[in-house]
Amino acid sequence: MYEKANKVGHWVVVDGFDNVGRVMIRDPWKATKYKMDLQEFQKTWTGFSVW
């Protein structure tokens, strides 16, 4: 998927929620993992997804 105003596509994998409700995310680009609060994730997400 393409980020707004970016010519390079970028994908992440959402693994679910941790035990306090943060979104668990894996980024295969640099093999990193991180967590975001749900509200922050909803502000960042472009609305595109692949199942």
What is the amino acid identity at position 12?
Answer: V
**Is the CB of residue 35 less than 8 Å from the CB of residue 23?**
yes
pLDDT at 26: 96
Running DSSP on this structure, what letter comes out for residue 31? T
Place 4 in a pLDDT band, splitting at 50, 70 and 90. low
Tens digits of residue pLDDT in 9-45: 778 999 999 999 999 999 998 899 999 999 999 998 8
Q: Which residue has the higher pLDDT, 23 or 7?
A: 23
Running DSSP on this structure, what letter comes out for residue 7? S
Q: pTM for this one?
A: 0.75
Q: Tokens at residue 24, please? A: 């668990």
